[in-house]
């Protein structure tokens, strides 16, 4: 028996980074981590691109043309799976299919994720699609999740295959080989990288590290930048800012539908328990501004969610909507009683950019900064 060098260092580094980034991608798939999730997704895509080129230009056993994909190979493998003899030095037929499926599904998952990010959040390279498809944001997200779940199934299949091989063919050290690069074979079947393969792998590693450094140095880059920019409401309507923002949070008009604003402005004498009456002319001016910029006119995710949560109900408080309740259910009740927050209606206590028309997850204040009373 010989100890053969089967998996080159670039192959092993790819495997480790691919596993790591896939794990981080699943762990960061929460609303508050979406920007990081997107960056990790693009990192996965770079790794997949490397593996595709490596499968075309890399060393033996990593090449796609060396994958035993034929029906006869599969049949022979299944018939000899319990034999101790190592029939396939590199990937066996089932592992080959799983590997190719992983690469294909990973590409689709990243692309559908980028599309969902652009359509739903108005961010990234596909943010230009937000205007046209924002009403279908749920569909894009669901498609992405389908492929993400399919990838989980492939991971499970891969791990099960490794464990079965470990159990049945322990002496060949297949599991250890992805760390050491060596397998125990009948004869020496070691591979050796040529100069071009070494240069290519080094260049790809430098590019990958550069990609990560770029995202750390410039976190608001084109891959995750939002199409939505801060709004200066004082420039748009000074009366709105003066009359509405002087007493409470300056709520962006796009967070409530037209009907809600009409209900609010028609009963200012009883404005949540206070008399906020203004002149008829001023009322008409502010109402027109609110209606012209209501949730129906916006393609922002919160606007769409509030609109669908309220529908045709006579709701004038965002905190009474199912969407608000769902997105704030994890917040301890004592936070809203904190002297810095005071009430559920004080959005700006946590959302630092709300009075500029934005509700960015990364700009939400850390709740731990509010002292318990």
d(C-alpha 161, C-alpha 98), whole Å: 10
Q: What is the 3-state secondary structure (H, E, C) of the chain?
A: CEEEECCCHHHHHHHHHHHHHHHHHHHCCCHHHHHHHHHHHHHHHHHHHHHHHHHHHCCCCCCHHHCCCCHHHHHHHHHCCCCCCCCCCCCCHHHHHHHHHHHHHHHHHHHHHHHHHHHHHCECCCHHHHHHHHHHHHHHHHHHHHHHHHHHHHHHHHHHHHHHHHHHCHHHCHHHHHHHCEEEECCCCCCCCCHHHHHHHHHHHHHHHHHHHHHHHCCCCCCCCECCCCCCHHHHCHHHHHHHHCCCCCCCHHHCCHHHHHHHHCCHHHECCECCCCCHHHHHHHHHHHHHCCHHHCCCHHHHHHHHHHCCCCCCCHHHCHHHHHHCCCCCHHHHHCCCCCCCCCHHHCECCHHHCCCCHHHECCHHHCCCC
Averaged in consecutive runs of 10 residues, what is the pLDDT profile of the chain (373 residues)? 89 96 94 92 97 96 92 81 70 91 97 95 94 90 96 94 76 77 84 96 97 94 93 94 90 95 93 90 95 95 94 92 92 86 90 92 82 57
Instruction: Check residue 333 and give its pLDDT.
Output: 85
Instruction: Check residue 14 and give its pLDDT.
Output: 96
Instruction: Check residue 90 and give its pLDDT.
Output: 84
d(C-alpha 5, C-alpha 201), whole Å: 18
| pTM recorded for the entire structure | 0.87
Partners of 351 in beta bridges: 364
Instruction: Check residue 372 and give its pLDDT.
Output: 58
Partners of 5 in beta bridges: 182
Domains of the chain: 2-217 (1.20.950), 233-369 (no CATH)
CB-count exposure of residue 33 (10 Å: 0-12, 13-18, 19+): middle
Instruction: Check residue 258 and give its pLDDT.
Output: 96
């Amino acid at each position: 028996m010989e100890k053969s060098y089967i998996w080159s260092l670039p192959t092993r580094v790819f495997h480790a980074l691919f596993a790591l980034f896939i794990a981080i991608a699943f762990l960061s798939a929460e609303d508050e981590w979406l920007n990081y999730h997107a960056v990790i997704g693009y990192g996965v895509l770079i790794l997949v691109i490397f593996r595709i080129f490596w499968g075309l230009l890399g060393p033996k056993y990593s090449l796609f043309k060396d994958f035993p994909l034929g029906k006869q190979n599969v049949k022979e493998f299944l018939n000899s799976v319990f034999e101790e003899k190592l029939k396939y030095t590199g990937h066996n037929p089932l592992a080959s299919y799983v590997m190719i499926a992983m690469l294909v599904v990973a590409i689709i998952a990243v692309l559908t994720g980028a599309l969902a990010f652009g359509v739903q959040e108005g961010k990234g390279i596909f943010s230009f699609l937000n205007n046209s498809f924002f009403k279908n944001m749920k569909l894009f997200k669901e498609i992405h999740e389908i492929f993400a779940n399919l990838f989980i199934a492939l991971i499970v299949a891969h791990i099960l295959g490794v464990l079965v091989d470990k159990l049945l063919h322990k002496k060949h050290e297949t599991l250890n080989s992805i760390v050491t690069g060596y397998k125990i074979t009948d004869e020496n079947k070691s591979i050796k990288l040529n100069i071009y393969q070494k240069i290519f792998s080094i260049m790809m590693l430098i590019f990958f590290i550069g990609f990560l450094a770029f995202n750390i140095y410039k976190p608001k880059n084109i891959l995750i930048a939002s199409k939505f920019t801060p709004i200066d409401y004082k420039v748009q309507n000074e009366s709105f800012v003066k009359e509405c923002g002087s007493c409470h949070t300056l709520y962006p008009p796009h967070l409530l539908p037209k009907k809600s604003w009409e209900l609010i402005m028609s009963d200012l004498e009883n404005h949540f328990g206070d008399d906020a009456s203004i002149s008829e002319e001023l009322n008409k001016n502010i109402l027109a501004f609110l209606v012209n910029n209501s949730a129906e006119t916006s393609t922002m995710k919160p606007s769409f969610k509030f609109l669908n949560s309220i529908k045709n109900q006579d709701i004038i408080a965002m905190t009474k909507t199912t969407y608000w309740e769902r997105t704030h259910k994890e917040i301890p009740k004592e936070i809203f009683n904190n002297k810095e927050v005071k009430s559920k209606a004080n959005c700006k206590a946590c959302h630092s950019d709300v009075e500029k028309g934005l509700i960015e997850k990364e700009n939400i204040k850390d709740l731990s900064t509010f002292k318990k009373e």
